[in-house]
Structure 1
Amino acid sequence: MAPPNIVLYDVPSASPEAWAPNIWRIRFVLNFKRLLYRTAWVEYQDVERTLRSIGAPPSSVGRDGRPVYTLPAILVPQRPSEPPIVLSSTNAIVEYLETTHPARPVFPDGSRALQFAFVHYLNDVVVKPLLAIMIPLSHMRLPEHVQAHFRGPTTTGMPGYLAPGPQREGAWLAVKEKFDFLASLLDKNSGPDGDGLVVMGRELSYADFAICSLLVWIERVSPHDGWVRVRQWSGGRWVRLWDRCKDYMDVY
């Protein structure tokens, strides 16, 4: 086999597990398409320097007019005389992989616009109440020196952390309501239209990997609280989706 030629940039936690949901979307697509790649681990404080060094475009522009660099990003080497292809937007990366490697498509014919709209809904509606819980927990899973980078020299504690109690229970209830509504939408694919589990009816697609990326995030960052809850929701639907996607959860 040829050596891996795609480099996927990811952020490490204090443990060796990959956890970031936006990066998991790309990893799922790479694994599903059976593409050779390797992960390059970049700590948060080194993201901008690393992406600038490989010529990655900024993800956005901040309010101060400065370019903002975020992950995921991929680097694809070309011929020795040609510069590598470097992409740093989730949508741009997925579209590039689908176009250049059309075998085992993640966008069945005619579904690309609808799937991107679905994932936008997922980010804008379903993920929003989850952030209040998961961002502080994700912060706690980072190496201590990276936590200190975000806290600054005079701040202690985990910003926004919800301790066990009514506030955290209320936050998880808000998340459950969004997942329950999502389950009700997917149930419309039951019967002759599909198995009721995956977004496109019967076959895994990019939208399913976007959902499962959230499940991986919860399982890796909150295994004894969040994942225990989520796996019981909707009659175990989300565990079944996890099982459908688990063959594509390898980290290389």
Structure 2
Amino acid sequence: MTSSNPILFFDIASGPPVRAYAPNPWKARYALNMKALPYKTKWVELPDVKSTRLAHSVAPVRKLPNDEDFYTLPMIHNPSTDAYFGDSFDIAVYLDENYSDSGHRLFPKDSIGVHRVFNAHVDALFTRHVYICASGMPFNPETAEVSKAEFVRRAGLESWDQLCVGGEARAKILEEFKADLEEFAKLYRFEGPFLEGEKMTYADAIVGGWLQFMKATVQEWGQICEWQGGRWKRLHEALEQWAEQR
């Protein structure tokens, strides 16, 4: 893998101008940038994600509540070894173990298990409040209706409007989200900006991926930046040095 033969990184395309927004691809993008590895983004339209994974024989790594396979991104292909990985956490582990001398170390010694638990906890926390994101999803206008219909189907609902909360219902979700983040912030033993103070680890990419998604989709992003004394704004800004989109 070289600059002339980089890792191919599959990310979910937004509407034009195409940009990164989905949380799990953002985790992998942070990892690639933190490891200072050459890569190139392959943008995939939402309706094409399943066929893209199938075309490369990359099995789904998630399930919907009804136990149906859930095909999503990120995914990487390393042309040097012809290896494919289709889960953000597995991508980070692979990069850190195989390119230990490049960039930053993502996982301190003997911490992969703890990071895996942390990843599941963070995903569950943010997913509980994901309804505040629906109305701001940056769909491609050409495929928006197809994408919305798929989101509705996955959620077991009848219409897109049911996913787009407003008024008192939205205010209640935001209040609960703030309370959950208040409890979560207790894990941060230092002023920051990172979980371990001034030392970045993959845990910060995990949270940072979700913060990027909130910034892209939630109109109250400015409020979130002020919560917990501005902790999440400081983390988001500290991660900007690894937020390049190639």
Q: Normalising by structure 1, what TM-score?
A: 0.84
**Inter-CA distance 210–65: structure 2 relative to 1 (3 Å threshold):** closer
Give 3-state SS (helix, strand or coil) of 1:39's partner. Answer: strand
2:26 matches 1:29: no
From the superposition, tell whether residues 118 and 60 of structure 1 become closer, same or farther in structure 2 (CA, over 3 Å): closer
- Quote the offset at 1:128 in angstroms: 3.0
Whether 1:241 aligns to 2:235 is yes
Task: Say whether 1:214 aligns with 2:210.
Answer: yes
Aligned residue pairs: how many? 235
Q: Which residue of 2 aligns with 1:54?
A: 56
The residue identity in structure 2 corresponding to 1:218 is M
Asked if 1:118 corresponds to 2:112, the answer is no
Residue 77 of structure 1: CA displacement? Answer: 0.7
What's the CA shift for 1:200? 2.6
Q: Does 1:131 align with 2:134?
A: no
Task: Show the counterpart of 1:11.
Answer: 12
Which residue matches 2:79? Answer: 77
Structure 2, unmatched stretches of 5+, are: 151-157
Partners of 1:58 and 1:36 lie apart in 2 by 25
Separation (CA, whole Å) in 2 of partners of 1:180 and 1:2:
42
Mapped to 2, the partners of 1:54 and 1:105 lie a distance apart of 29
Partners of 2:109 and 2:66 lie apart in 1 by 41
- CA deviation string 1:5-24 (max 9, x = no partner): 11111111113221000000
- The residue type paired with residue 37 of structure 1 is Y
CA-CA distance at 1:4 after TM superposition = 4.6
**Match for 1:247: what amino acid?**
Q
Q: Which residue of 2 aligns with 1:93?
A: 91
Cα separation, 2, equivalents of 1:210 and 1:55: 26
2:201 aligned with 1:205: yes
Q: Is the 8 A contact 1:129 1:171 kept in 2?
A: no
State whether residues 4 and 38 of structure 1, in contact with CA within 8 Å, keep that contact through their aligned partners in structure 2.
Answer: no
Over 3 Å counting, the alpha-carbon distance change for 1:12 and 1:205 in structure 2 is: same
Q: Is the 8 Å Cα contact of residues 7 and 75 (structure 1) preserved in structure 2?
A: yes
RMSD: 2.4
The range that moved more, 63-72 or 44-53, is 63-72
The change in CA–CA distance for 1:64 and 1:129 in structure 2 (over 3 A counts) is closer
Query: 2:100: which partner in 1?
Result: 102
Alpha-carbon distance in 2 for matches of 1:181, 1:36:
37
Larger radius of gyration: 1
- Residue identity in the other structure for 1:92: D
Structure with greater contact order relative to length (CA < 8 Å, sep ≥ 6): 2
Report the residue type matching 1:221 in the other structure: T
Deviation at 1:57, TM superposition (A): 2.2
Which of 159, 163, 187 pairs up with 1:160? Answer: 163
Q: In terms of mean alpha carbon deviation, does 170-179 or 195-204 score higher?
A: 195-204
Structure 1 portions without partners, runs of 5+: none
Cα contact 2:3–2:39 (8 A) shared by 1: no
Paired residue type of 1:142: F
Q: 1:197 to 1:33 in 2, by over 3 A?
A: same
Q: Is the 8 A contact 1:231 1:237 kept in 2?
A: yes
Change in 2 beyond 3 A, CA 1:131/1:65: closer
